Amino acid sequence: MDLSFCVVNTAGRAHLLRCLDSIRATLPTGVDAEILVLDNASGDGSAEAVEEWNARPDGFGERLRLIALERRQGKASNDSRLLSDARGEWCLLLNEDSELCPGAVEALLRAAESEPSVAVAGAQLLASDGSASACAWRLPGVATALMQALFLHKLLVTQSGRGFENRRVGWVQSAAMLVRRNAAAEVGYLDSDFFVYSDETDFEKRLYDAGWTVLHVPAARAVHHEQLTNDRASGRRRLVEFHRNRDLYMRKHHGPVAAAAVRVLTAWTYAVRALAALVLPNQAPRWYRLHAQLALSPRGEGIREAAAELNAQLDREAGGPARHQP
């Protein structure tokens, strides 16, 4: 099989259905493809909605496989599950809140097959209003943290938004990311220690270390609604998870001293932004202060703990531990 579309959904029913519609609308002629949807114990009727969508005359039939988890898992674990279950030579990882634009799949496949060393090709992500979002960067380290602390990140760290040619980059965001399946298997898929955030960064760093290449493909475009990022109701948990996993990445790949230096540099960056937000219009100084606090000391309850609480609740409702699906 040529291509496996791999979609992880966590309580995003409406977004998920639009994502599936975009897959159907953008599938290139002559490409043998399947769709794998992993529903992450959503509880919002997402799994049933996928089955109804697939039962329509224009559904995918047997080429769509639904994996409905009974307990909430992390993004890295779920993407790894899909990559290992997929049959395609290439796997297009998609968030449920991503929508492929016309021509995106062809552009990604064409770029990925242009060089035998390419393991990952990432689309240019667009915000809901159609504006381009930053979606490719240099791999994190002390040098990149220093560039950000000097507010040179747009010039020296961000690698998307620089013309229309494909370019080699450090890492791309996984909201619309094409992956060579055998390369993913070679490095052991994604590391489940990263519950969510920095999971793709770690994955692409390990691919780079193994000799593979990561490409940013501006001609491939996908709208990413970023429902998780925009959810300020669970903001502190998300920021804990974000900074905790950034720190985990640094400790894993650069050691404790470099990780400590990056914590200080990152906290400084957010602290300056918090001060600037006091006088700039339409800014949120408290949000930046919280970023600064957690960047310096990434502790507390994050998304992983929220998932554990949900799983405990599901266990109680089921009268015992829910069956864990292999």
Let me know: does 180 contact 112? Beta carbons within 8 Å.
yes
More confident residue, 249 or 228: 249
CA gap 217, 100 in Å, rounded:
13
Residue 226 has pLDDT above 80, yes or no: no
The pair of structure tokens assigned to 300 is 């507390």
Query: Are residue 46 and residue 94 in the same domain, yes or no?
Result: yes
108 located within any domain: yes
- The whole domain housing 130 covers 3-224
Domain boundary among the residues 168, 194, 224 is at 224
Residue 324 has pLDDT above 90, yes or no: no
326 located within any domain: no
Domain boundary among the residues 200, 224, 248 is at 224
Query: Are residue 99 and residue 244 in the same domain, yes or no?
Result: no
User: What pLDDT sits at residue 13?
Assistant: 96
Residues 6+ apart with CB under 8 A from 252: 202
CA distance to 37, 46, 105, 180, 306, per residue, from 171 (Å) = 24, 30, 19, 15, 28
Query: Are residue 198 and residue 296 in the same domain, yes or no?
Result: no
Where does residue 120 fall: left (phi above 0), alpha (psi -120 to 50 degrees), or beta otherwise?
A: beta
User: What pLDDT sits at residue 319?
Assistant: 79
Query: Are residue 120 and residue 172 in the same domain, yes or no?
Result: yes
User: What pLDDT sits at residue 234?
Assistant: 64
256 located within any domain: yes
Task: Tell me the mean pLDDT in the region 212-235.
Answer: 81
Query: Are residue 250 and residue 219 in the same domain, yes or no?
Result: no
Query: Are residue 216 and residue 249 in the same domain, yes or no?
Result: no
Give the pLDDT band of residue 233 (cuts 50, 70, 90): low
User: What pLDDT sits at residue 231?
Assistant: 52
| pLDDT, the chain, mean | 94
Q: At what angle do helices 235-254 and 303-318 cross, to 10 degrees?
A: 120
Give pTM, 2 decimals. 0.93
Query: Are residue 313 and residue 286 in the same domain, yes or no?
Result: yes
Query: Are residue 219 and residue 256 in the same domain, yes or no?
Result: no
